[in-house]
Structure 1
């Protein structure tokens, strides 16, 4: 919650700073950034979707079953946290890709209008501000994916170590 408030406060500050600095950028530079964002979003969306289907097949079966019973993750909160991080990164990545689509659509629709020509600097700064935020959210999404993977590996290693310790006790 605090993070959202901080981001909401920073949005006008970023916009005003870019505006005051007289930031001017070429559309091709902007397109390179958004293309990279789309590629990362697609990667996260695809790989993490496969990850969920592979690691949590019971959750997937319960979702696709006509009886929408929630999957039970009560045994280990670590699995729940990991799944939340993965699903969160998928949702963020899909929202980022959708936002970029909307930005491109708005450019296509507005680029030849009088309003665009009269306010091109403000529109460009607005698009750059939005892109900066999309980059932040994409980086946050990648960090969530990395964290989920590290958490998964740590869980595997601790379970393996526990199993080896149990085997040695029973010998």
Structure 2
């Protein structure tokens, strides 16, 4: 029995690992673009932007990430029980549509993105406190400042993408509701 559980855990772990690598591979090109664009912006703006200029942007980014995190969490709380019910009792509930699965997947990715943004902002603030104030080498200071500016741009790109996905998900959900209402009205008329 114990051996079977270990084999099952190993199989599940391998499946999760494979899914994780497929997920990462599917996002490499887009994130490479975000990173290159962020580094280019950081390089060109490092001399014209002070770290104090970034504070309002970081505060706004933190607030937006928290709001998106909360909104997506509410969506997951609404959608997840329906999805689980479809898988656990298929005789009493219709099979879950693939668009619902995709919606939940997108919402989980949005939550993870917003959590990453908030965590990264916290780390940037901690590194600023611990490292930036203690460096006396101007060249190292310049590089760190460029990386800080670039990081804020990268996090902004990620959060903007998450916002757009939330907007699109909401529009698709409303369209789906209208479609189901139209179907119900048509069936009631018959």
TM > 0.5 between the two? yes
Aligned counterpart, 1:41? 65
**Equivalent in 64, 77, 80 of residue 53 of structure 1:** 77
For the pair 1:100 / 2:100, whether they are aligned, the reply is: no
CA distance, structure 2, for counterparts of residue 59 and residue 71 of structure 1: 10
**Equivalent in 90, 111, 133 of residue 112 of structure 1:** 133
Pairing 1:8-47 to 2, within 5 Å after superposition:
8=32, 11-12=35-36, 14-16=38-40, 18-19=42-43, 23-47=47-71
CA distance, structure 1, for counterparts of residue 117 and residue 28 of structure 2: 16
Measured after TM superposition, the shift of residue 55 of structure 1 is 3.6
Measured after TM superposition, the shift of residue 20 of structure 1 is 5.2
User: TM-score, normalised on structure 1?
Assistant: 0.80
Aligned counterpart, 1:66? none
CA distance, structure 2, for counterparts of residue 71 and residue 59 of structure 1: 10
User: TM-score, normalised on structure 2?
Assistant: 0.73
State the Cα deviation string for residues 34-57 of structure 1 (Å, max 9, x = none). Answer: 111110110011122122213433
Q: Structure 2: which 5+ runs fail to align?
A: 1-24
Q: Structure 1: which 5+ runs fail to align?
A: 62-68
CA distance, structure 1, for counterparts of residue 137 and residue 89 of structure 2: 49
Is contact 2:61–2:156 with CA below 8 Å preserved after alignment?
Answer: yes
Instruction: Say which structure is richer in helix.
Output: 2
CA distance, structure 2, for counterparts of residue 37 and residue 2 of structure 1: 25
Aligned counterpart, 2:97? 76
**Equivalent in 137, 162, 166 of residue 183 of structure 2:** 162
Aligned residues: 162
Residue 9 and residue 46 in structure 1: after superposition, are their counterparts in 2 closer, same or farther (change >3 A)?
Answer: closer
What RMSD in Å do the two structures reach over aligned CA positions?
2.8
